[in-house]
């Protein structure tokens, strides 16, 4: 990766991935784009307003900046997708199709995140394997499975260097996620610090895989830098680092804030989605094919999240 384009850089992953990549590859070599102005991303490197649904504009940015690697981070997440499935399909698949085509025409590598949402109620629940039944029941999941297949197709048919990981819920303290089922695991830390209590929309006993942002960012770079000869899979790798329920994360927060209280006001859409997803993924293939190894667990992450949020809220 020498000249990188990030599409959808204003979101939860993009806002931190831009900074992370700029530190590694140099500010001038990482072009951040989003459908909206993002002053923070424009402050230390190239930024352009780009509608990912406009393939001509995307191709023009790629050509002007001599891009060799594209990160397509445009996504309407699982819960918001259920409110407007047609729009979710249009945005998620439109951005992917344009990224694939621009990558094919301009000889770029392409990273597009998939998700635990690519699995569904018929997938094995515990230690969900890399290659297994994938029949998601959300439009988001259907986009992710289609995206994985289409990305593999572009690799097999046109030789495009497409790669991807199936992200768990990502927990971070820079940009809040929006419209996801796993968002509770971010909100809970902010509410614990600000108000000492949190009302959770996901049932207390539902396990989902989660990952701390530093591990998620490292996974993107390590996969894109991996020797292609080692990759048996491409789109998309299971990665895992921790799996917990709302009750378990609340108990971890209480180690730092003993008076922290949590109650529940269940969102039926989020309940159905959360219950349809795996409890935990098996990430053996990512470990074997490109050396994936998480560095953060729930305990370490909770200490860090609370410290960062506390210092910022002072």
Site string for ligand AKB, 61-100 (x = CB under 6 A): ----------------xx----------------------
> CB-wise, 163 or 270, nearer to ligand AKB?
270
Question: Who contacts 300 (Cβ-Cβ below 8 Å, separation ≥6)?
Answer: 212
**Quick check: 63 and 106 in contact, CB under 8 A?**
yes
Q: Which residues pair with 238 in a beta bridge?
A: 166
Residue 113: closest CA among 33, 38, 11: 11
Residue 116 interacts with ligand AKB (CB under 6 A)? yes
The yes-or-no answer on residue 140 being catalytic is: yes
* Smallest separation, CB 95 to ligand AKB (Å): 15
> CB-wise, 106 or 218, nearer to ligand AKB?
218
Residue 117 interacts with ligand AKB (CB under 6 A)? yes
Residues 156-195 that bind ligand AKB (CB under 6 A): 167, 169, 177, 180-182
Distance CA 115, CA 100 (A): 18
Residue 245 interacts with ligand AKB (CB under 6 A)? no
- Binding region for ligand AKB (CB under 6 A) out of 38-46, 59-67, 115-123, 189-197: 115-123
Instruction: Find the length of the chain.
Output: 314
Helix (H, G, I), strand (E, B) or coil at 273: helix
Q: If phi over 0 gives left and psi between -120 and 50 gives alpha, with beta otherwise, what is residue 263? A: beta
**Quick check: 88 and 139 in contact, CB under 8 A?**
yes
Binding site for ligand AKB (CB under 6 A): 77-78, 115-117, 140, 167, 169, 177, 180-182
Active site residues: 140
């Amino acid at each position: 990766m020498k000249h990188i384009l990030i599409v959808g850089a204003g979101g939860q992953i993009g806002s931190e991935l831009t900074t992370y990549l700029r530190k590694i590859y140099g500010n001038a070599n990482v072009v951040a784009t989003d459908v909206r102005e993002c002053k923070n991303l424009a402050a230390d490197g190239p930024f352009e307003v780009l509608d990912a649904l406009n393939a001509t504009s995307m191709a023009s940015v790629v050509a002007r900046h001599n891009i060799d690697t594209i990160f397509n981070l445009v996504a309407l997440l699982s819960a918001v997708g259920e409110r407007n499935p047609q729009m979710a399909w249009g945005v998620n698949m439109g951005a992917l199709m344009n990224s694939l085509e621009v990558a094919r025409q301009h000889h770029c590598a392409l990273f597009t995140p998939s998700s635990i949402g690519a699995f569904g109620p018929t997938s094995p629940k515990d230690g969900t394997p890399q290659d297994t039944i994938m029949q998601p029941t959300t439009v988001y999941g259907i986009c992710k499975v289609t995206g994985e297949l289409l990305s593999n197709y572009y690799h097999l048919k046109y030789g495009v260097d497409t790669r991807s990981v199936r992200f768990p819920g990502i927990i971070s303290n820079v940009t809040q996620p929006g419209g996801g089922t796993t968002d509770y695991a971010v909100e809970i830390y902010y509410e614990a610090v600000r108000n000492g209590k949190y009302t959770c929309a996901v049932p207390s006993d539902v396990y989902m895989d989660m990952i701390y942002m530093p591990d998620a960012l490292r996974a993107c770079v390590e996969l894109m830098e991996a020797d292609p000869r080692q990759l048996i899979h491409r789109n998309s790798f299971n990665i895992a680092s921790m799996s917990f329920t709302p009750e378990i994360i609340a108990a971890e927060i209480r180690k730092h804030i003993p008076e922290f209280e949590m109650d529940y006001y269940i969102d039926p859409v989020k309940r159905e989605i959360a219950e349809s997803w795996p409890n935990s993924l098996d990430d053996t293939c990512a470990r074997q094919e490109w050396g994936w190894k998480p560095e953060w667990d729930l305990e370490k992450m909770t200490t860090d999240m609370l410290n960062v949020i506390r210092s910022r809220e002072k």
